[in-house]
Chain A
Amino acid sequence: MRRWTRLIAAPLLALLAACSGGTENAPPANDKLLLAALQARLAGLSGGEPVPDAREILSPALVARSSTPLLLVVVEAADAGLTMVPRAVNRGTQQWRDISGGGLFRRDGILVGTRGFGFDLHTADVAPLAAALRRGGGEDVERINRYIDGQNQIVAVQYLCSVRPMGRERLNLYGTVVDATVYRENCIGEGPPFANTYWVDSGGTVRRSNELISPRAGSLDLSVLKL
């Protein structure tokens, strides 16, 4: 009996409690978007047949109507698109969530963690990279990615990354046109080499990026649809 009442009551109470605790809660984006996120995420995890994903449902009008910032996340390995909304900010790190509870962390517009993708990026130390992007690239920086290995141990993988401007490109993000400088981050180090790409607008905001989660999980393509 108790179990059932708790099951029903928990989400309601939790919502209230979380609000009262002072977490910076984002109002839920409209249901259609979140449903698309869920479908895409399920498709991505099961590797099953493609279902309509966020990219097919999103439209300039839909994005414009959104009352909250929106992130389009494309899981490259599964070719699945899903949307995320901001959930909290703590000391400069933004947490984004999709409807099914998966999420990612961004700091200075750079991916510093993923949750629920399997073979997740646990944390990333990208302070030197953020500084290099602010200075317009053209330098080598250190990056430390941390992963939880199969034995619940945190493994720090150190990289040396060259950050280079690659020219300019015009992005069309569902109706918003952004002129961006493209930066390529080429990393070599203790793990397999990889390359990330960042599209940075004139205000220094990363509007689009292609960033590695882990060698097994592959990369995410992130677009900030609404700031």
Chain B
Amino acid sequence: MRATRTILAGLATAGLLAPMVHAQEIEPRRSVSSYGVPGLIDMPSAQMQPDGELVTSLYLLSNGAGRVQLSFQILPRVQGVFRYATLPDFQRVGNDFIRTYDRSFDVRFQLFKESGWVPDVTVGLQDFGGTSLYSGEYLVASKTFGPKVTGTVGIGWGRFGTQGSFTNPLAVLDDRFRDRPRFDVNSTGGDFSTDSWFRGDAALFAGVEYRPNARWTLKAEYSSDAYVQEEARGIFEHDSPLNFGVEYNPSPGIRLGGYLLGGTEIGFNIQLALNPKRPPAGGSGLEGAPLPVAIRPARETQPNLWSEAWVGVPQVEQPVVAGLDAVLAEAGLELISYRLTGDRVDIRFRNPRYSSQAQAIGRAARAMAATLPPSVETLVLTPENTRSLGSAAVILRRSDIEALENRPNGAAETLAVAGIVDSQTLPTDGRRYVDDAYPRLRWNVGPYIAYALFDPDNPLRADVGLSATAEWEPVRGLILGGEVRQKLIGNRDESNRQSNSVLPRVRTNGPEFLKTDDPYIPYLTAAYFFRPGRNLYARGSAGLLEEQFGGVSAELLWKPVASRLAIGVEASVVRQREFDGLFGFQDLDAETAFVSAYYDHGARFYSQLDVGQYLAGDRGATYTLTREFSNGWQVGAFATKTNVSAEEFGEGSFDKGFFLRIPTDWLLGRPTRETSAVVIRPVQRDGGARLNLRDRLYPLVRDQSPPVLTEQWGRFWR
């Protein structure tokens, strides 16, 4: 539920800047309903968004109700939605009705895609957790009539089966379909409520969307939603099943809508769409042209320049290395070490600038071609991450670089002749570190924003303050780092949820950590990173590991270069920190350990399975599915099931959530390795809780070796 960077600002900006598309390539963006899915006003249509589309919509109703929805087109025919809704005077507390907040998830599958006379047909499960006011299912068909008109008809259950309803036709199959479990505003929810899907009375709905031009859209619908619960509480007067709306599209990706609902209420909708596949500045980025490949003089004409006699001669080696260091620095890269021989040079370098390692390698190769003596034919390049871990090494022939620089299909041709090996297998004799490679100090003082999104009582809480971070690497791989924060203003401390957890309170007293008004230390650790052998990566950390826990932690990762599979083990012994966020500890110990498997399915879907013991001592497994775009965008979801029962777990029944990661260079078009990430959990409980460790190995090293490295190879010559 917490994010550390300004992702909302990012979403808004990207929505504003979202580019137009080559119309013939991508299907059009769809206008969304008040529930955030392609549709009319309250009723869904059967249409889907373009693949990868991420639509944020904010819907406000004149009675004080509101919903924020985030929908993601997971696959061309599968769409997922997260919804945070609020209703005024809804939940009964004693004799009063108070405002309530509700989170829910939808999923939609498209069964048929429109083609000829066959319409789009989609089945949808709205709030498939099933306890909320909004739960409902539908089967809907939509058909376009020319470019301007789309007609929709459907049958709905649950919320969508309350106006003009009739006995469920599915009762013919089984009598159980006749009745739907009653809606319970106080239930814990969170499980798949399969026992209510498609149950109870059904009703028909229909509507039409008319687009006279690219800017305007008119909508009319016959709604099958009678607003029964709202009418019962007197917060909605439902006079008519007919709803009408008009929408305006001021710029691509932005849509504003106004609606008349039930004959009595007015609704407003703001829709922001963006798509990872369509960066605002295009895929090429705005950075300037790289250094041209320097061409060596021909050996036949100037054989003396090709001599290897320079090896071991400091008067030559020193300026060569200084030149290489400087040209790499001009490209934004930092030389760490080098190994010079007459015909081959190995370098290891840091890439703090380019989000694509292939682009960094391409620029480093050109720096080598510009500075190394002509006798050097083999170039071996190992990018290292900020933790001094190298992974793959790329081996290139200098004559290939010279020959392929301007070939029309140069990137693919270069990859075809590049050797990619585990850098751990490279010779180490004669490797020298540049003078100032270590020790290394980095520090930063600046503002921070920390926010909690969609918590059970407030959609947005945020703190703003000052942060100072420092990182010192006295010897290669040993990193002493920490951060101090001072909150200046914010409302994250206003959450006064009392923990009612029956488990060890490893997370539910999290709000207590936010109440300090004094400087606090989010983390302060000593960590050591190294490669114990081929295919292996290791980390050991000790100290204040995260905001709520301190202790020791160790991790070992097996990830062969070019393997789709990686396996890691991780064990930590920790104690809960004092709420003041300083050096003290409380009396809550935890031992946690996991075996994790990471798998790259291809087509940029990644799975992660973690099996082990969680912070509260519960045992089970977490499954995470991530869709990653090779520009670095990630959209994923996770769920954890442990041996804690749904009753013991409390609200939500089990731990789950989703996350988004947006690379900053995607937004700006300028090279940077920064990303914005947000993790949204409907509820944070104590079951299935893990440590928020910094520098877990797999995400740290993943982009340094294939398949990720080679997926981005198109940027080698950029």
Binding site for B on A (CB under 8 A): 2, 6, 9-11, 13-14, 16-18, 20-24, 45, 87-88, 90-93, 95, 97, 100-103, 105, 107, 112-113, 115-120, 122-125, 144, 146-154, 156, 191-192, 214-217
Q: List 18 A-B contacts (CB under 8 A).
A: A13-B326, A17-B324, A17-B326, A22-B295, A22-B296, A115-B288, A115-B289, A115-B290, A116-B288, A116-B289, A117-B286, A118-B284, A119-B281, A122-B714, A122-B717, A125-B409, A148-B715, A151-B629
Contacts of A22 in B (CB 8 A): 294-297
Contacts of B412 in A (CB 8 A): 154
Contact A17 B631 (CB under 8 A): no
Known: A13-B327, A87-B292, A102-B288. 6 other contacts (CB 8 A): A21-B369, A23-B294, A112-B406, A115-B718, A122-B717, A152-B714
Contacts of A216 in B (CB 8 A): 19-20, 282
Check A147/B406 contact, CB under 8 A, given A18-B294, A215-B22.
no
Contact A18 B291 (CB under 8 A): yes
Contact B323 A23 (CB under 8 A): no
* Distance of B279 from chain A, by nearest CB (Å): 5
Contact A14 B326 (CB under 8 A): yes
Q: How far is the CA of A152 from the CA of B325 in the complex (A)?
A: 27
Contacts of B370 in A (CB 8 A): 17-18, 21, 23
Contact A151 B277 (CB under 8 A): yes
Contacts of A10 in B (CB 8 A): 326, 329-330
Q: How far is the CA of A17 from the CA of B320 in the complex (A)?
A: 8
**Counting chain B CB atoms within 10 Å of each CB, which of A10, A21, A217 scores highest?**
A21
Contact B436 A2 (CB under 8 A): yes
Q: How far is the CA of A152 from the CA of B630 in the complex (A)?
A: 6
* Distance of A138 from chain B, by nearest CB (Å): 24
Contacts of B295 in A (CB 8 A): 22-24, 90
Contacts of A107 in B (CB 8 A): 406
**Counting chain B CB atoms within 10 Å of each CB, which of A93, A144, A149, A150 scores highest?**
A150
Q: Render B328-363 as a binary contact track against A, CB cut-off 8 A, 1 for contact.
A: 011000000000000000000000000010000000
* Distance of B307 from chain A, by nearest CB (Å): 15
Q: Which of A16, A90, A101, A217 contacts B292 (CB 8 A)?
A: A90
Q: Which of A88, A115, A120, A152 contacts B711 (CB 8 A)?
A: A152
Chain B, range 31-56, C-beta contacts under 8 Å to A: none
Q: Which of A6, A11, A91, A150 contacts B283 (CB 8 A)?
A: A150
Q: Which of B284, B329, B330 contacts A148 (CB 8 A)?
A: B284
Closest residue on chain B to residue A149 by CB atoms: B283
Q: How far is the CA of A147 from the CA of B409 in the complex (A)?
A: 11
* Distance of A198 from chain B, by nearest CB (Å): 19
Interface flag for B30 (CB, 8 Å): no
Q: Which of B22, B283, B296, B403 contacts A152 (CB 8 A)?
A: B283
Closest residue on chain A to residue B406 by CB atoms: A93
Contacts of B294 in A (CB 8 A): 18, 21-23, 88
Q: Main SS of chain A's interface residues?
A: mixed
* Distance of A103 from chain B, by nearest CB (Å): 4
Check A151/B631 contact, CB under 8 A, given A14-B327, A17-B371.
yes
Interface flag for B276 (CB, 8 Å): yes
* Distance of A130 from chain B, by nearest CB (Å): 12
Contact A191 B22 (CB under 8 A): yes
* Distance of A71 from chain B, by nearest CB (Å): 14
Q: Render B619-641 as a binary contact track against A, CB cut-off 8 A, 1 for contact.
A: 00000000001110000000000
Contacts of A148 in B (CB 8 A): 283-285, 714-715, 718
Q: Which of B287, B292, B330, B411 contacts A95 (CB 8 A)?
A: B292
Interface flag for B322 (CB, 8 Å): yes
Interface flag for B669 (CB, 8 Å): yes
Contact size range, B: 35 or more
Contact B718 A153 (CB under 8 A): no
Check A20/B371 contact, CB under 8 A, given A87-B292, A148-B718, A152-B714.
yes
Q: How far is the CA of A21 from the CA of B322 in the complex (A)?
A: 13
Closest residue on chain B to residue A192 by CB atoms: B22
Q: How far is the CA of A101 from the CA of B275 in the complex (A)?
A: 29
Closest residue on chain B to residue A96 by CB atoms: B289
Binding site for A on B (CB under 8 A): 19-20, 22, 24, 275-279, 281-297, 322-327, 329-330, 356, 369-372, 402-403, 405-412, 436, 629-631, 666, 669, 711-712, 714-715, 717-718
Closest residue on chain A to residue B287 by CB atoms: A116
Q: Which of A88, A113, A217 contacts B282 (CB 8 A)?
A: A217
Q: Which of A95, A112, A150, A153 contacts B279 (CB 8 A)?
A: A150
Closest residue on chain B to residue A191 by CB atoms: B22
Q: Which of B293, B324, B631 contacts A150 (CB 8 A)?
A: B631
Closest residue on chain A to residue B297 by CB atoms: A22
Contacts of A152 in B (CB 8 A): 283, 356, 630-631, 711-712, 714-715
Closest residue on chain B to residue A144 by CB atoms: B408
Closest residue on chain B to residue A11 by CB atoms: B330
Contacts of A18 in B (CB 8 A): 291, 294, 327, 370
Q: How far is the CA of A124 from the CA of B356 in the complex (A)?
A: 22
3 closest A-B pairs by beta carbon, nearest first, are A101-B288, A17-B323, A13-B326
Q: Which of A14, A100, A147 contacts B330 (CB 8 A)?
A: A14
**Counting chain B CB atoms within 10 Å of each CB, which of A117, A122, A125 scores highest?**
A122
Q: How far is the CA of A21 from the CA of B325 in the complex (A)?
A: 14
Contacts of B411 in A (CB 8 A): 154
Q: Which of B19, B291, B408 contacts A146 (CB 8 A)?
A: B408
Contacts of A9 in B (CB 8 A): 326
Contact A153 B371 (CB under 8 A): no
Contact B286 A118 (CB under 8 A): yes
Contacts of B715 in A (CB 8 A): 148, 152
Closest residue on chain A to residue B279 by CB atoms: A150
Q: How far is the CA of A13 from the CA of B583 in the complex (A)?
A: 47
Contact B631 A23 (CB under 8 A): no
Check A123/B406 contact, CB under 8 A, given A118-B282, A152-B711.
yes
Contacts of A90 in B (CB 8 A): 292-293, 295, 402, 405-406
Contacts of A45 in B (CB 8 A): 286
Closest residue on chain A to residue B604 by CB atoms: A151
**Counting chain B CB atoms within 10 Å of each CB, which of A101, A107, A123, A191 scores highest?**
A123
* Distance of A9 from chain B, by nearest CB (Å): 7
* Distance of B652 from chain A, by nearest CB (Å): 34
Contacts of B290 in A (CB 8 A): 115
Contacts of B288 in A (CB 8 A): 100-103, 115-116
Closest residue on chain B to residue A95 by CB atoms: B292
* Distance of A6 from chain B, by nearest CB (Å): 6
Q: How far is the CA of A214 from the CA of B283 in the complex (A)?
A: 12
* Distance of A77 from chain B, by nearest CB (Å): 13
Contact B327 A88 (CB under 8 A): no
* Distance of B306 from chain A, by nearest CB (Å): 12
Contacts of B666 in A (CB 8 A): 150
Q: How far is the CA of A86 from the CA of B356 in the complex (A)?
A: 28
Closest residue on chain A to residue B19 by CB atoms: A216
Contact B286 A116 (CB under 8 A): yes
Q: How far is the CA of A55 from the CA of B323 in the complex (A)?
A: 37
Contact B406 A16 (CB under 8 A): no
Contacts of A101 in B (CB 8 A): 287-289
Contact A95 B329 (CB under 8 A): no
Q: How far is the CA of A39 from the CA of B227 in the complex (A)?
A: 60
Q: How far is the CA of A144 from the CA of B9 in the complex (A)?
A: 39
Closest residue on chain B to residue A41 by CB atoms: B288
Q: How far is the CA of A215 from the CA of B669 in the complex (A)?
A: 18
Contact B714 A153 (CB under 8 A): yes
Contacts of B326 in A (CB 8 A): 9-10, 13-14, 17
Closest residue on chain A to residue B323 by CB atoms: A17
Q: Which of B281, B293, B410, B714 contacts A118 (CB 8 A)?
A: B281
Q: How far is the CA of A225 from the CA of B135 in the complex (A)?
A: 69
**Counting chain A CB atoms within 10 Å of each CB, which of B294, B409, B711 scores highest?**
B294
Contacts of A154 in B (CB 8 A): 409, 411-412, 714
**Counting chain A CB atoms within 10 Å of each CB, which of B291, B292, B402, B630 scores highest?**
B292
Contacts of A105 in B (CB 8 A): 406
Contacts of A122 in B (CB 8 A): 284, 714, 717-718
